[in-house]
Each structure stands twice: as structure tokens, then as C-alpha cells.
Amino acid sequence: MKYIIILAISLLLNLTGCAIFTTYDSKEMAEIKMQQAAFISKDLLSLMTELYGPGQTAFIFEYKPALLGNTLEQHLRQAGYSVYNHAATAHHKAVALFYIIDNFPDNTLRVGVTLGHYKITRLYQQQGENLAPASGFTLTRLE
């Protein structure tokens, strides 16, 4: 039953995904621990490197200081990306990056990232202090 709910939520995200990012502002609406933020950041980075190459991509990543944002920025820089925190100082070809993390029922977190022309969404199941992917990545190309 639990997996049916997660599948239904994944399908709903796919159908209503555009509603997730109505403003261009990163938001953390779920409380997470440092190790969970690191897990999510590394997991997202595994797909982001396939879309935009490290060492050749700069991101405009404006966010209010928060755990996932700080951790994601740190991992992006370590992977070889340039990160600008203010659009006014960014390189003219920099890619906009925004994220949202919020709670779903049954200890599930939803993480969504808008990355240039792409939207990435994934669910994570909280297992005590740890996280595990509860869905595959949903990747949508924005036109």
C-alpha cells in the first residue's frame, strides 16, 4: 500500500509539476539533518553532471541561507562548477538554479530542482536519520 501511495504521488508530481515552481525562489519547507542534506546534494549532483558539465557551466543560485542550499552550493563548487549568488554579478551564460524541498505523508520528502531548461523531481523516504530514494528521478525539459 505504501508503494502505491508513493507511485500515485510520483504520477501526480509529473502531472502537476509546473505548479511546483511558480516563483523563482528556492524554498526549504521541510526540516532535514546535515547528513540528509549531503545525501540529497550528492544524489542530485549525479544527474546534474549529465545535464551540465562541470568546469564548463556556471550557475546563478540565489537562495536564503538554509541547510540544503548551503550543502548543494558546496558540492557544486567541489565538482567544478562556478556558482554566482547574485544574478547581477553572474556570467551572461550562467544557468539559473532553484530548488524546493517539502514534506509528504509517511516520512517522505519531495525535492524539486529547476535547472536551466530542466526540472528534476525525486522523492526520498526518511529512515530514522537516513534517507533512501523512494522514486526515480523525474526529468522534464522546459520549453
What range does the domain containing 85 cover? 2-141
| Alpha-carbon gap, residue 80 to 96, rounded angstroms | 16
Residue 138 grid coordinates: 523525474
When divided into structural domains, the chain yields a total of: 1
111 vs 11 pLDDT, higher one = 111
Query: What's the pLDDT at 68?
Result: 95
125, 5 Cβ separation under 8 angstroms:
no
Residue 79 has pLDDT above 90, yes or no: yes
Residues with Cβ within 8 Å of 24's Cβ and at least 6 positions away in sequence, in order, are 96, 98, 114
Q: Which amino acid is at 87?
A: A
| Alpha-carbon gap, residue 120 to 81, rounded angstroms | 18
Query: What's the pLDDT at 11?
Result: 45
Residue 61 has pLDDT above 50, yes or no: yes
What confidence category does residue 7 fall into, taking pLDDT thresholds of 50, 70 and 90?
very low
